Chains A and B, each alone.
Chain A
Amino acid sequence: MTKTDATPVLELTGIGKEFGAIRALHDVDMQVWPGEVVGLMGDNGAGKSTLVKIIAGNFRPSHGEMRFAGSAVHFNRPVDARAVGIEVVYQDLALADNLTAAANVFLGRELKRRFGPIALLDHKAMASRALELFGELRSETRPDDLVRQMSGGQRQAVAIARTRLSNARLVMMDEPTAAISVRQVEQVLGLIHRLKEQGVAVMLISHRMPDVFAVCDRVVVMRRGEKRADKSIHQTSPEEVTALITGAKEAA
């Protein structure tokens, strides 16, 4: 990598996790730099989701150390991870589809105006900020439309706009392209590029090889709870990654 100027956004050293007698993760070292898109690949049960959940604060690691922007962090709850600037875009997007796009973006951190003792929602400010965020993501999404009436790509934009609201420095996306159409996949990959342009580090968890090779700078392959490869995308190929995932090739 050419990034020598900055500290990594996220640095994992020797991360391990056991659930009773089951070793889900073993000795994972990993670094993610600002403005970098890292693909995290692996078969089911390879330890991807455990790793993501540790970074997102759902689980505490049994071993190892996690540093965020240079300082050691310990998350007890997902809220702690969000507080330092780690956002997760969940596979099911975690949107309330009976609410508008703007309402979803601001869910749990609504903008309010005080009238004496009561605080009322500031609909106008939320709608215009949401429109700004959709503009940044170049998504044709109207803040006042209900999420129920939106396409898969627009929903992704809403979920990603939510991470932009807090100026997250690391966004983890869990299978963002799994259940949407080809055209919408293009849109989502575009959204990832937008995040990258703005210096946000993105971790893309995906099964779809073409998507990973389209947007990622680096790919990390997990197998049986261990990191088997961590290569620049230009130094590897879909064939090699497939071999690493299936175990046809042990490590690279």
Chain B
Amino acid sequence: MAMPLESPISFTNVGKIRWWQRGIFASQTGYVLLALAVLLVIMHFASPYFFTQGNMQNVAKNFSFIAIATLGVTFVIITGGIDLSVGSMMCFSAMITSMVMTELSAPGSPLVHMAADGKTVLANVPGLILLISILAGLGVALIAGLVNGFCIAVLGLSPFVTTLGMLSIVRGLGYVVSNGRGSFPGGPDADYFYALTSGDVLGVPAPFIYLVILALTMAVVLHHTSFGRHVFALGGNEKAAELTGIPVVRVKIEVYVICALAAGLQGIIISGWLGSAPANMAMSYELNVIAAAVIGGANLAGGIGGPLGAIVGCVLLEVIRNGLVLAQVSSYWQQTLVGVIIILAVLVDRVRSRMT
């Protein structure tokens, strides 16, 4: 039924939107990235130690420790939701991973069979215990994410309340399974575990490599798959998404699962760096994670956000922390400054969108 065009449309009344008025240049992420660049230059002049290799590695490692979870929570924020349970989730996944690792490695544990050489059967396959324990850690995150998603998408509970509850439930479970003591990675595979989580490749910290891979994957998923498109549509206009036949319930459950898995992975990596998973690990990290996402340009009202913004937010927070230490400012100022920056970042964006 398509009708041939009598004449191609001429855009006489509709101007073209210039390149600097669209995409990253017109986003909060762009402005914060600019601010970050300025900050890096200032830091370079303020402290000769800032751009040393050691400090750069340190910064890269430190921001990677919250950035993977920030990627996950960015998915949720784009749909217009929120996940407060990421901090607890990090702790619980890390704890389960190291407990399973220790348990499967211990001779005499009721769960494992002994081989002839006095080690457990599983320990004779290098890396198998590590694989199982990491899958166990991610498995509990998957379950928590499914519960979050089910309560929010199917039962229609508010994301804030559901994940606030989950924050408490998961933290409590962490205390229950470890009796409040936390747990330590152990057994023959612990060395692999430390190499994978706190090691480095040619001077690049391993967590940073994971972060880059995950961020690139996320960029492709968000902008080049229909799932990503639906995530944005859900945040832009949930009712429209539903009317156009998008499987709203499924997409919502999926984003909470992704967020929980990212938090779980993040926790497992942190525990490798700490060498343990204490019961109070990553306490109130959810606030840092959400702050980083918001500073990077994710809009809590939904519909806007991306991996670049998540990383830029994390880097900015870390550079400020690192910079204050190098500048010998009391580290107590850090939190105050972070708060100011959150408000400033959002304020600048508001002013900009008023002007155009």
Contact = CB atoms under 8 A, between A and B. Distances in A.
Given A96-B232, A98-B232, A121 B1 contact: no
Interface stretch (A107-115, A219-227, A231-239): A107-115
B275 interface: no
Interface stretch (A36-44, A45-53, A133-141): A133-141
Interface residues on B, range: 35 or more
Interface of B is mostly: loop
Contact of B11 (A82, A110, A136, A140): A140
A13 interface: no
Contacts of A109: 245
B226 A121 contact: yes
Contacts of B3: 136, 197-198
Interface string B214-257: 00000010011110011011011101110111100000000000
A167 B1 contact: yes
Which of B2, B239, B243, B303 neighbours the largest number of chain A CB atoms within 10 Å of its CB? B243
A246 interface: no
Interface residues of A, number: 42
Contacts of B233: 96, 99, 103, 107
Given A108-B245, A136-B5, A95 B240 contact: yes
Given A140-B9, A142-B16, A112 B226 contact: yes
A138 B220 CA distance: 34
Which of B8, B10, B12, B236 neighbours the largest number of chain A CB atoms within 10 Å of its CB? B236
A160 to B, nearest CB: 14
Contacts of B11: 140, 142
19 contacts: A78-B243, A92-B239, A94-B237, A95-B240, A96-B303, A99-B232, A107-B229, A107-B241, A118-B225, A119-B225, A120-B225, A121-B225, A121-B226, A135-B5, A135-B8, A135-B9, A140-B10, A142-B17, A199-B1
Given A82-B245, A98-B235, A121-B223, 16 more contacts: A78-B243, A94-B244, A98-B236, A98-B304, A99-B232, A103-B232, A108-B241, A119-B226, A121-B226, A134-B9, A135-B8, A136-B5, A140-B9, A140-B11, A142-B16, A199-B1
